[in-house]
């Protein structure tokens, strides 16, 4: 269980760092004179960084094991968090968001680690809980960062354009601490040792070649893009959306936005657990049909959210949407471990 807690905690820290900027955008955009397009580019950059790094992370886990791969990436990307307070232009802001977003590739090491530690009977639940609790960071940072800015301003008298920069040292330090914890206390496998599996004779290029040719992998990638990709997009914009549309203050918008990410406490693990439960009776077909149903309902709620005009109604729909969107993520990784690398 030590590996379980270390994996989700390091992933949690990366989520906190990557999405530390969105709840402060009302201040940052004024400080850096960001346009709506530039804010959008920064959000895209954070997600793009995650995609690029995840491609390499799988190979890294196969080569050195999930513990070292995870800790190394977290340490490599931590400087980007510390450099965020120094940005002075839209270009530098987009760049640090891209580099910080690369840390989200720890999701791959988290899922790899859990799949190595737990049996197929509970792998959906294990993957769902680890990823879901890690994703909680996207909600926690919506609460922590506005609070940190307010606390810094009250205790030091700093201007808001200075306070938001100081606040970024909080996620940076937290990220580094989790990386060292993984290195010192983690282990790759139940027996504590990592060994490359070479019984089949397959090398990484061969496995990648087979994976690219497997249409099931592409379908699951597309499916995951439309649940987790949507979640990342919402994490980037939801606080600013409520701040602007309903004329809220920074902390109130942050608290509302936090409820979206904090739903991961039960929604994504619930999706993984649901996948395991339906599989007991209906097998793989049950996992797939449940994934389709939950993700479809999430899409419907996403459309409804954009059409609701009242604050209360928007909050209710957003929370419902978060549950279905995030549960679909857990359901997806109730299927992924069963896709053959051949």
Q: Is residue 334 part of a domain?
A: yes
198 in a domain, yes or no? no
Domains contained in the chain, number? 1
CA distance 251 to 163: 14
Quick check: 172 and 186 in contact, CB under 8 A?
Answer: no
pLDDT band of 200, cuts 50, 70, 90: very low
What's the mean pLDDT in 131-145?
91
240 neighbors 127 (Cβ within 8 angstroms): no
Model confidence at 298: pLDDT above 50: yes
Q: What is the pLDDT of residues 70-98, one digit of tens each?
A: 999 999 999 999 999 999 999 999 999 99
Closest CA to 5 of 140, 187, 165: 187
Using the Cα atoms of residue 205, residue 331, residue 100 and residue 299 in order, give the sign of their dihedral.
positive
Burial 284-298 (b: 16+ CB within 10 A, else e): eebbbebbeebbebb
Measured N-to-C along each axis, helices 2-18 and 106-117 cross at an angle, to the nearest 10 degrees, of 170
Average pLDDT (213-235) is 88
Residue 210 has pLDDT above 60, yes or no: yes
Domain that holds residue 72: 2-187+205-338
Which residues are CB-contacts of 60 (< 8 A; sequence separation ≥ 6)? Answer: 69, 72, 73, 109
Q: What is the mean pLDDT of residues 263-274?
A: 89
Confidence of residue 119 (pLDDT cuts 50, 70, 90): confident
Residue 48 lies in a domain: yes
| pLDDT confidence bin for 1, thresholds 50/70/90 | confident
* Across 138-158, average pLDDT: 94
pLDDT at 196 over 80: no
The Cα–Cα gap between 70 and 68 comes to 5
Question: Given this model, what pLDDT does residue 195 score?
Answer: 58
pLDDT computed for residue 199 by the predictor:
46
Q: Which residue has the tokens 């049996």?
A: 119
d(CA 274, CA 283): 12
Domain annotation covers residue 197: no
Residue 113 token pair? 């680690």
The token duo for 209 is 């070649």
pLDDT at 82: 97
The predicted structure's pLDDT at residue 272: 86
pLDDT interval class at 316 (50, 70, 90): very high
Q: C-alpha angle with apex 136: 194 to 316, nearest 5 degrees?
A: 150
Kindly state whether residue 178 falls inside one of the protein's structural domains.
yes
Give a yes or no: residue 242 inside a domain.
yes
Mean confidence (pLDDT) of the chain: 89
Residue 273 lies in a domain: yes
**172 in a domain, yes or no?**
yes
Percent of the chain, pLDDT > 70? 93
pLDDT over 90 (residue 15): yes
Q: Give 188's pLDDT tier (boundaries 50, 70, 90).
A: confident
* 117: DSSP letter: H
Least confident of 56-60, 214-218, 322-326: 214-218
pLDDT value of position 31: 96
CATH number at residue 160: 1.20.1250.20
**At residue 341, does pLDDT exceed 70?**
no
Mean pLDDT of 127-153: 91
Model pLDDT, residue 198: 44
Mean pLDDT of all residues in 171-189: 92
Least confident of 1-10, 31-40, 88-97, 169-178: 1-10
């Amino acid at each position: 269980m030590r590996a379980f807690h270390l994996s989700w905690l390091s992933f949690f820290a990366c989520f906190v760092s990557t999405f530390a900027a969105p709840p402060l955008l009302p201040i940052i955009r004024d400080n850096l004179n960001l346009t709506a397009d530039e804010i959008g580019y920064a959000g895209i950059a954070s997600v793009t960084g995650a995609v690029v790094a995840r491609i390499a992370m799988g190979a890294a886990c196969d080569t050195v094991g999930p513990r070292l791969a995870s800790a190394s990436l977290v340490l490599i990307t931590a400087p980007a968090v510390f450099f965020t307070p120094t940005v002075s232009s839209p270009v530098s802001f987009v760049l640090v968001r891209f580099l910080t977003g690369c840390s989200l590739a720890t999701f791959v090491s988290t899922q790899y680690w859990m799949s190595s530690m737990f049996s197929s009977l509970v792998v959906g639940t294990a993957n769902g809980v680890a990823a879901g609790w890690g994703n909680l960071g996207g909600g926690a940072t919506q609460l922590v960062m506005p609070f940190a800015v307010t606390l810094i301003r009250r205790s030091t008298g700093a201007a808001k354009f200075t306070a938001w920069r100081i606040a970024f040292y909080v996620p940076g330090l937290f990220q580094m601490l989790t990386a060292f914890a993984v290195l010192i206390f983690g282990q790759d496998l139940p027996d504590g040792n990592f060994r490359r599996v070479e019984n089949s004779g397959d090398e990484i290029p061969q496995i990648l070649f087979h994976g690219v040719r497997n249409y099931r992998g592409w379908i699951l990638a597309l499916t995951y893009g439309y649940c987790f990709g949507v979640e990342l997009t919402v994490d980037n914009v939801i606080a600013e959306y409520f701040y602007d549309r309903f004329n809220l203050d920074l902390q109130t918008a942050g608290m509302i936005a936090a409820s979206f990410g904090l739903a991961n406490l039960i929604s994504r693990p619930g999706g993984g657990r649901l996948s395991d439960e339906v599989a007991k009776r209906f097998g793989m077909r049950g996992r797939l049909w449940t994934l389709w149903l939950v993700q479809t309902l999430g899409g419907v709620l996403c459309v409804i959210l954009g059409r609701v005009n009242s604050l209360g109604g928007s909050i209710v729909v957003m929370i419902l949407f978060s549950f279905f969107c995030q549960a679909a993520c857990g359901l997806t990784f109730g299927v992924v471990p069963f896709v053959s690398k051949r």
